[in-house]
Amino acid sequence: MPAQRAGGTTFRNLGFLLLPLALALTTATPLPAQQLYETQLMALVDQTPIVLEAPFPFVEVSRNLPEIFAQRRASIGASNRLLAWFIPRLALKDLLDDKTDRYRSLQVQVQRDAESVRYTPADIKKMRAEIIRDTPGITQLGLDDVDTLFNIMDLSPFKKRTGAQKILGLATLGEDSYTLCIATSAEGVDLRGARQIEASVSCVTHVLIKDKILVLTVTGPEISAPELDNAMRVTAKWIALLRAANPPPKAPGGK
């Protein structure tokens, strides 16, 4: 699959973002006033160090769940590199106890062929414009539009068959970024061998961080207006968190 390049088209790369995900739902807990994240780690994109944080209560679990992390890393394809995978801390506890409830998840990745490219805000704007140009009729989606979207859009096929995919809309949830909201369905199987159709909603964001483009995916375990609203809000908080942790590089000679 061709990698993104500065000024190149981005819509062709949606295939690896529409892969089915096994997810589970957890109960929200009050956020302490000063607790913005639980995990902080550093990743290198080319030679650029990037601080990775995710909104509370998501924790990075590659070391806790190495087999599942390896499966996710393989599923995104050789042309992409998974940097981190986050799930709610209570979902981690459930998985370690072999529970199979579905849960929300966050992941961040980059495209290998684009790691050495230095991007600008103008590149992000051009990529977004290309999606609008190549996808006639795509919905421009804001948080206030979610309920209306679900009232007018027929999403019943996602509960009846696997392999259903639909772009719900294009959103701007943070500076120097764009987000595609996507609904998918896939066949899931639990540890007891039971199979059922599992539908999910994802917000897939391309965001400029220190001249690099990170691909953020926030996924919820059902297709509903509240779950899409939550995914969009989490995405907005995640973008803000990453940008605050990674100030833009200073121009040569700048102070």
Q: Report DSSP state, residue 125.
A: H
What would the mean pLDDT of 174-198 be, rounded to a whole number? Answer: 77
Judge whether residue 214 has pLDDT over 80. yes
216 located within any domain: yes
Model confidence at 191, pLDDT cuts 50, 70, 90, reads: very low
User: pLDDT band for position 203 (50/70/90)?
Assistant: very high
- 240 domain-assigned: yes
When pLDDT is averaged across residues 22-42 and rounded to a whole number, the result is: 54
Residue 183 pLDDT exceeds 80? yes
Q: Given a cut of 90, is residue 20 above it in pLDDT? A: no
**Is residue 254 in a domain?**
no
Residue 188: band (very low, low, confident or very high) from pLDDT cuts 50, 70, 90: low
Band (pLDDT 50/70/90 cuts) for residue 187 is low
What's residue 193's pLDDT?
A: 54
Query: What 3-state class would DSSP assign to 231?
Result: helix
Going by their DSSP bridges, the two strands 37-45 and 48-55 should be labelled as antiparallel
Instruction: Judge whether 104 lies within some domain.
Output: yes
**Which of 27-41, 74-88, 200-214 has the largest mean confidence?**
200-214
Name which of 34, 26, 44 is nearest 92 in CA terms. 26
pLDDT tens, residue by residue, 78-127: 899 999 999 999 999 888 887 767 889 999 999 999 999 999 999 999 99
Residue 251 is predicted with a pLDDT of: 65
pTM: 0.81
Domain count, the chain: 1
The boundaries of the domain holding residue 204 are 11-25+35-245
Q: Is residue 255 part of a domain?
A: no
Q: Using CB atoms within 10 A of its CB, is residue 47 exposed (0-12), middle (13-18) or buried (19+)?
A: exposed
What residues form DSSP beta bridges with 166? 183
55 inside domain: yes
Would the pLDDT of 128 be above 70?
A: yes
221 touches 227 (CB < 8 A): yes
| Residue 234 is assigned to a structural domain of this protein | yes
Look-up of token digits 């160090």: 49
**126 within some domain:** yes
Give which of 228, 232, 176 is closest to 200, Cα–Cα: 228
Structure confidence at residue 120 (pLDDT)? 96
Tell me if 198 sits within 8 A of 163, measured CB to CB. Answer: no
Which residue, chain included where needed, has tokens 């919905």? 139
